[in-house]
Amino acid sequence: MIIYCEKGYYPDSHFTLYKKKKTWNYTSYFDDLNKLLIDHSNDQSVQHYFLLNEKRFAFFKFDIFHHAESTFTIHDLNAIIEDKMLDCQLHAHGTRMLFYTIDTILVDGVANKYILGKKGMLFFRLSLVFIDTPTIELFSKRWENIFKNNNIHIFPRSFYTQQFLKKQLEKQSYHMLDIQSDTSTIISIKNGFYDHIGTVNRWSSMLKNIYKENNISELLYKKRSEITSSFAEQTINHSVDFFTKMLSKRLHQHIGKEKDLILISDLTANEFFQDSFSKWYNEYINGYILPFHYSNMLNTFGKKRKSQDIHALALINYKEDHS
């Protein structure tokens, strides 16, 4: 299995490749998806997993109520999916359905693992994921039909991460902020699936530039107790406070009030950032911040990982657990 994880979004996107040798690790960076598909993905003896930016997708969720007088079959399910696909295409021009998921299954009001083969009053949540035409066209230059190629698997970048968090936290609805150097993504999960995707550009690089301009870059991840200069501490407090206040204002515009947040970022190692962000987030949004300390929940395969590795790690852990 080879994993290609997209960082950023077109035209600034680049990719990290994860491939298992003795252990899982990233090996190379590529400028964009087109170059990646030209230079790699030739080996059809392995499974290729592409974790792409959520902006390439459209998401739809339906609560399905169905009275089955006879056994519910795959043909019944396909008819429902076909009907909902037609509804989605009215709102998602220039896309094509990539895959679907089913969860929260009830049979006569009782929770069940399966929907096929059941009778009675059925309820389930159907989620449809569509992918945009420009992305399909890039893949089509390399493969004739990605929808029928069993070696190619395409998912939103955070798909396995949000599935993992839903299971671990036992929460169907939450917000996740993924802060990377080039872009930060705000992902709202409602009833167990994507509800809204927002972008706050270049926030991590902005804070790092503030440190650089003040000649204190080497202190970015230092603990308070390790900073001996009162001037440096004062500069950090002022800089980080400005940064987290602006970030909290932007988040308030995206998610509103009284919302808890799961935070994915290397900045969680910065004590000044954690304290200041908690203060301003509580003032503007009145919620709690839960840093995603993945090392306590995911197998990191003997290596210290960065936050940018989390989405690939979630997929790897899922595959390892189900192999």
On the question of pLDDT at 217 being above 90, the answer is: no
Mean pLDDT calculated for residue range 88-114: 90
Give per-residue pLDDT as tens, 188-201.
998 889 998 988 76
Structure tokens at 144: 């004739």
Does pLDDT of 173 surpass 90? no
Model pLDDT, residue 49: 93
Nearest to 295 by CA among 286, 287, 307, 284: 307
Question: What pLDDT score does 117 carry?
Answer: 94
What per-residue confidence (pLDDT) applies to 182? 67
Helices 271-284 & 230-255 angle (0-180, nearest 10): 40
Mean pLDDT score of the chain? 86
Q: How many CB atoms lie within 10 A of CB 62?
A: 17
What is the distance between the alpha carbons of residues 142 and 153, in angstroms, rounded to a whole number?
14
pLDDT confidence of 67, banded at 50, 70, 90? very high
Average pLDDT over residues 225-231: 87
Residue 2 token pair: 């080879």
> What pLDDT, in 10s, does the model give residues 237-279?
988 998 899 889 988 988 888 888 999 888 888 889 999 999 9
| pLDDT of 43 above 70 | no
Provide the terminal-to-terminal Cα distance of the chain, rounded to the nearest Å. 12
Give a three-class secondary structure readout of the chain.
CEEEEEECCCCCCEEEEEEECCCEEEEEEECCHHHHHHHCCCCCCCCEEEEECHHHEEEEEEEEEEEECCCCCHHHHHHHHHHHHHHHHCCCCCEEEEEEEEEEEEECCEEECCCCCCCEEEEEEEEEEEEEHHHHHHHHCCCCCCCCCCCEEEEECCHHHHHHHHHHHCCCCEEEEEECCCEEEEEEEECCEEEEEEEEECHHHHHHHHHHHCCCHHHCCCCHHHCCCHHHHHHHHHHHHHHHHHHHHHHHHHHCCCCCEEEECHHHHCHHHHHHHHHHHHHHCCCCEEECCHHHCCCCCCCCCCHHHHHHHHHHHHHHHCC
35 vs 104, which has greater pLDDT?
A: 104
pLDDT band at 69 (very low <50, low <70, confident <90, very high): very high
**CATH fold for domain 57-131:** Dna Ligase; domain 1 (3.30.1490)
* Percent of the chain residues past pLDDT 70, beyond the cut: 91
Residue 285, pLDDT above cutoff 90: yes
- pLDDT value at residue 90: 80
pLDDT of residue 63: 95
Q: Of the CATH numbers 3.10.580.10, 3.40.630.30, 3.30.420.40, 1.10.443.10, which one belongs to the domain with range 166-292?
A: 3.30.420.40
- How many whole angstroms separate alpha carbon 95 and alpha carbon 98? 9
Query: Which pLDDT does position 116 carry in this prediction?
Result: 95
